[in-house]
Amino acid sequence: MDVKRTLDGISPEQLRGFFVGWPNPPSPHTFRRLLAGSSNIALALDGNEVVGFITAISDGVLSAYIPLLEVKPEYQGRGIGQKLVADMLEQLSGLYMVDLICDEKMRPFYERLGLKHGTGMLHRNYANQSGSPPAKA
């Protein structure tokens, strides 16, 4: 299982099979666009197949937020999620704060990786769940 930190050579076709359970998921093209727009990414690859990913958005000075982490169902439970989070924490190790929001049931997973529990607040615009349109030039 390789971890890749760039999108070089990754096509939208390789990005199918994610956002499992989302009522209104981004298309593979939109998924590629959000990866390209993230400040940091890590992709887990089994050969040419992308089987997991994590993204971060950062100001590059103090802070970063980790919005998305997913491993394809058939690859879950093999340590890939943990490897992706560890890789992202390494990429962001020069920053002061790295935050994410998760379900309560995921707390032990993140605590094992050294993250601490806090309280978060959320805003969701469900009309845009499949992705906002590309910005006009």
Ligand X SMILES: CC(C)(COP(=O)(O)OP(=O)(O)OC[C@H]1O[C@@H](n2cnc3c(N)ncnc32)[C@H](O)[C@@H]1OP(=O)(O)O)[C@@H](O)C(=O)NCCC(=O)NCCS
- Residues at the interface with ligand X (CB under 6 A): 69-71, 76-82, 102, 105-106, 108-109
Minimal CB distance to ligand X: which residue? 81
Nearer to ligand X, 53 or 58 (CB): 53
Going by the DSSP 8-state scheme, the letter that residue 75 receives in this structure is G
Could you give the 3-state DSSP secondary structure of residue 128?
helix
Q: Whole-number minimum distance, CB 133 to ligand X, in Å?
A: 25
Q: Which run of H or of E encompasses 6?
A: none
Shortest CB 105 distance to ligand X, Å: 4
Alpha-carbon torsion (41, 46, 47, 48), positive or negative? negative
Nearer to ligand X, 105 or 123 (CB): 105
The token pair that represents 53 in the structure block: 């990913």
- Compare residues 113 and 134 and give the one whose CB is closer to ligand X: 113
